[in-house]
Amino acid sequence: MLQALTPLKTSTKNRADSASGRKTRHSAASAASKRSRGLETALLAECRSGWTLPRPFYRDESVYRLDLDRVWRTGWLFAGHSCEISEPGSYFTLELDTDSLIVIRGDDGAIHAHHNVCRHRGSLVCAAPTGQVSRLICPYHQWTYSLEGKLIACRGMHAGLDKSQFSLRPARVEEVEGLVFVSLADKPLPFAPARDALAPLLKPQGLRRAKVAKVLDYLVPANWKLLWENNRECYHCNLNHPQYIKANFDHYNADDTTPRVREALNRVVARSEQKRASDRLAPTHRQSGMAVFPDADKNIWFSANRTPLVDGWVSESMDGKQVARLMGDYTDADIGTLRVRALPNFWNHSSCDHGVSTRLLPVGPQQTAVRVCWLVDEKSIEGRDYDLSRLLPFWQLTSEQDWLICERQQKGVNSSAYRPGPYSTFKEYNVASFVKWYLGCVEREA
């Protein structure tokens, strides 16, 4: 027969030893924290404006943890598209480091984000990455939650348990014209400026009235910042993206735009204006708003603009021809491209007939999970209105070319011979702006 446990008698010496142990542990933790801050300060001091970052920023676990805490867990993260969860009970999960979120359409028609952690004993509630449910039921002990996250059943528990105190923990969620963003922060940055800037350009694209045609997932062996730095310039495009430069002007810069190219650019801009496809049309760096994007101090982590395509191209497809039915409110194919960016994890290129969204999620100091998603009008039927063999290649090629570039760069940065190098003031100003934004985020709580 088990005997009842009796409280341990703590001698004066034991109490003193316990207090001494707590003091020692506290001192050790404090010393470790000071060392961490000292290392952080030393690393930041090595950063040079207009130059690539020192080696640890691209490869060290300590910097990766700093990134998670000061960039990823404080900002707004693109989660997915509202059309992916169009019906009540449809959901997808989002994984960031140790955090898992359920993004779900409620019975109330609104989009909700819940931490994927049962309030009973901490099990994941949704193990599948996507699904359709009438209730959220924990597979462990069947605690049951409404789609809005309220605890509605907990069989076997004692009477008097106040269910209202055990709702799923909510996360912040916002939706703007079909794009769903979440934040892990208790007090995230204001979302209203992003909504005001993005909504007018996104609305005609009709992403709320879209459907997913194809998703490709990649695990890129490179730090997430290298993917962004590569995205922020087209200095590399001439050699690495032959299909991209046939369609676009943005591989040209003020220093190398010939009279012939300027004439062609002026011609397509005039044509766009004539067709009233020129709202926020931005063929140049300054016109696009890139001169002020991004800015950590001013909460500018988003931007959007329209960009004209080369003469004869109406879509970012391999031959420049339309590859699906027109999206949204468009009645003319020749409207250029819509481009949207949101740090730290989203960019989108949308043509008249389809959109392509790219989402980044870091999974380690030198690994980034990337999802590329193609969207078409919700009424489109594969085989009749679009064919994947024509829809995918342009951005599948461009994306995979970029992932290879980033993989090679990561291998080079890992070398003991790596030293920071200067950015081109003509062709890599956007990269320098990104690095400045990143350092602003990291230093904000330093």
Pick the range with the lowest mean pLDDT from 89-103, 105-119, 215-229, 423-437: 423-437
In a domain, 44, yes or no: no
**What gap in Å lies between CA 333 and CA 356, rounded to an integer?**
17
If pLDDT is split at 50, 70 and 90, which confidence band does 401 have? very high
- Predicted local distance difference test score (pLDDT) of residue 8: 38
pTM beyond 0.85: yes
- Report yes or no on 139 lying in a domain: yes
**pLDDT at 307 (0 to 100):** 85
Asked if residue 220 and residue 157 are part of one domain, the reply reads no
Indicate whether 164 and 226 sit together in one domain. no
Give residue 10's pLDDT.
44
Whether 198 and 171 share a structural domain = no
The confidence score (pLDDT) of residue 1 equals: 37
| Residues 286 and 317 reside in one and the same domain | yes
pLDDT top residue among 379 and 239: 379
pLDDT at 41: 84
**Whether residue 276 sits in one domain with residue 170:** no
More confident call, 430 vs 380 = 380
Res 265 pLDDT > 80: no
Residue 413 pLDDT > 80: yes
Judge whether 109 lies within some domain. Answer: yes
- Mean pLDDT for the stretch of residues 428-438: 94
Check pLDDT > 50 for residue 380. yes
Say if residue 69's pLDDT is above 50: yes
Answer whether residue 161 shows pLDDT above 80: yes
Same domain as 359, residue 227 = yes
* Model confidence pLDDT, tens digit, residues 219-240: 999 999 999 999 999 889 888 9
From 176, 206, 227, the end of a domain falls on: 176
- Local confidence band at 277 (pLDDT 50, 70, 90 cut-offs): very low
Q: Is there a single domain that holds both residue 317 and residue 277?
A: yes
For the chain, percent of residues with pLDDT exceeding 70: 82
Is the domain of 209 the same as that of 151? no
- Residue ending a domain, among 176, 211, 227, is 176
**pLDDT band with cut points at 50, 70 and 90 for residue 273:** low
| Residue 169 shares a structural domain with residue 197 | no
Is residue 361 in some structural domain? yes
Average pLDDT, integer, range 399-410: 98
Q: How many domains does the chain have?
A: 2
- For residue 9, name the pLDDT band (cuts at 50, 70, 90): very low
Instruction: Give pLDDT tens digits for 299-334.
Output: 899 999 888 888 899 999 999 999 999 999 999 998
pLDDT band at 290 (very low <50, low <70, confident <90, very high): very low
| Whole-number average pLDDT of the chain | 88
Q: How confident is the model at residue 32 (pLDDT cuts 50, 70, 90)?
A: very low
Q: Is 390 among the domain residues?
A: yes
Identify which has the larger pLDDT, 203 or 255.
203
* Top-confidence residue, 238 or 143: 143
Q: Is residue 295 part of a domain?
A: yes
Whether 288 shows a pLDDT value over 60: the answer reads no
Q: What's the pLDDT score for residue 59? A: 98
- Structural domain including 292 reads 191-444
Query: How does pLDDT run across 18-31, given as a tens digit for each residue?
Result: 555 555 545 544 54
**One domain for residues 149 and 198:** no
Residues 394, 305: one domain? yes
Based on the domain organization, do 236 and 155 belong to the same domain?
no
Q: Per the domain annotation, does 53 fall within a domain?
A: no
Question: Which CATH number does the domain housing residue 121 bear?
Answer: 2.102.10.10
CATH number at residue 431: 3.90.380.10
In a domain, 147, yes or no: yes
On the question of pLDDT at 16 being above 60, the answer is no
The residue with greater pLDDT, 80 or 337, is: 80
| Of 145, 176, 207, the domain-final residue | 176
pLDDT tops 70 at residue 115 = yes
Q: Would you state the pLDDT for residue 25?
A: 47
